[in-house]
């Protein structure tokens, strides 16, 4: 792909804006030689203002999403894109969230511009386990594990029962739940079905990937080893 289109797709600006970058001599190779919009070069050999380009297409990353941040590119308020380089929202294709964590939930969030990978992760066929830690408004009543693992729990407005989910009691008002599907607000609705209310909800793990100390509000790129770990 010609560099003019390539840099525009990476979110550096409109084609007119990127063309001006070439005209101003801001785009070079690693040796400082000027490059032009019609040139075709490997991603890692291109520099803009002397700095390497943003990650190449096929970017895959994890974020520790804080409470109060929305998984959207268009909603009002603070969005996940405010925690990423501004150009990530302007890329074509855009770096999208893999599924969602609602505004009041925190924890592990995956993002990618690879549509094939995104659909592989969220596909019901993958059944990737997703692990959540919750705190509750009322004491656990004692039968949550049996109800959640039964494969018979029906949520309001749903036509099929939930897949069995694992439940671990961590305290009178604290638990860990592992899901193998991803329905709308599922954990919150599951506890509502057993007469409780989720106060805090934090996703700890997806498949074999965990936050592993990633600070809240921070993100890191994932590599091929991480992909293998995700599906391992």
- Report the pLDDT value the prediction gives residue 169, as an integer from 0 to 100: 98
Considering the domain architecture, whether residues 103 and 119 belong to the same structural domain is answered as yes
* Annotated catalytic residue within 54, 102, 114, 226: 102
How many helices (H) and strands (E) are present in the chain, helices listed first?
6, 12
Average pLDDT over residues 183-196: 96
| Same domain membership, residue 169 and residue 115 | no
Question: What pLDDT is recorded for position 151?
Answer: 96
Same domain, 23 and 69: no
143 and 87: one domain? Answer: no
Same domain membership, residue 64 and residue 115: yes
For tokens 């801001």, the residue is: 26
Query: Do residue 77 and residue 170 come from a single domain?
Result: no
The string of pLDDT tens digits covering residues 56-100 is 999 999 999 999 999 988 878 899 999 998 899 899 999 999 988
Q: Domain limits at 151? A: 130-206
Alpha carbon dihedral 133, 137, 141, 143, in 10-degree steps, equals -40
Residues 200 and 213 in one domain: no
Greater confidence (30 vs 77) lies with 30
Share of the chain above pLDDT 90, in %: 91
How large is the average pLDDT for residues 6-24?
97
Q: Could you tell me if 77 and 141 lie in one domain?
A: no
Mean pLDDT of the chain: 95
pLDDT at 16: 97
- Please give the pLDDT value at position 227: 93
Q: Considering 52, 69, 92, which residue would you say is the last residue of a domain? A: 52
154: phi > 0 → left, psi -120 to 50 → alpha, else beta; which? Answer: beta
Distance CA 213, CA 196 (A): 30
Same domain for 178 and 118, yes or no, is no
Domain count, the chain: 3
Together in a domain, 171 and 219: no
CATH number of the domain within which 75 lies:
3.30.70.580
Q: What is the CATH number of the domain that holds 15?
A: 3.10.290.10
- Rounded Cα distance between 141 and 201, Å, is 19
151 and 216 within one domain: no
pLDDT at 149: 98
Range 21-36 average pLDDT: 97
CATH code for position 171 = 3.30.70.1560
Is residue 45 within 8 Å of residue 30, measured between CB atoms? yes
* Predicted local confidence at residue 142, as pLDDT: 96
For residue range 103-133, list pLDDT tens digits in order. 999 999 999 999 999 999 999 888 899 999 9
What pLDDT, on the 0 to 100 scale, is given for residue 20?
Answer: 98
Q: Both 113 and 180 in a single domain?
A: no
Residue 102 annotated as catalytic: yes
């Amino acid at each position: 792909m010609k560099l003019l289109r390539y840099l525009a797709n990476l979110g550096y600006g409109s084609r007119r804006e990127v063309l001006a970058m070439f005209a101003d001599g801001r785009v070079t190779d690693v040796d400082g030689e000027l490059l032009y919009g019609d040139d075709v070069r490997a991603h890692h050999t291109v520099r803009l203002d002397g700095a390497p380009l943003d990650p190449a297409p096929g970017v895959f990353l994890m974020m520790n999403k804080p409470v109060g941040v929305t998984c959207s590119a268009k909603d009002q308020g603070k969005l996940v894109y405010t925690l990423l380089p501004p150009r990530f929202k302007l890329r074509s294709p855009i770096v999208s969230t893999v599924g969602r964590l609602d505004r009041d939930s925190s924890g592990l969030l995956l993002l990618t511009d690879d549509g094939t990978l995104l659909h592989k992760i969220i596909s019901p066929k993958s059944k990737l386990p997703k692990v959540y830690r919750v705190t509750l408004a009322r004491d656990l009543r004692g039968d949550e594990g049996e109800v959640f693992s039964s494969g018979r729990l029906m949520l309001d407005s749903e036509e099929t029962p939930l897949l069995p989910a694992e439940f671990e009691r961590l305290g009178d008002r604290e638990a860990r739940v592992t899901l193998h599907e991803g329905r709308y607000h599922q954990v919150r609705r599951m506890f509502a079905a057993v007469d409780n209310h989720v106060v805090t909800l934090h996703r700890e793990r997806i498949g074999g990937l965990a936050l592993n100390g990633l600070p809240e509000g921070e993100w890191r790129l994932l590599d091929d080893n991480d992909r293998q770990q995700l599906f391992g």
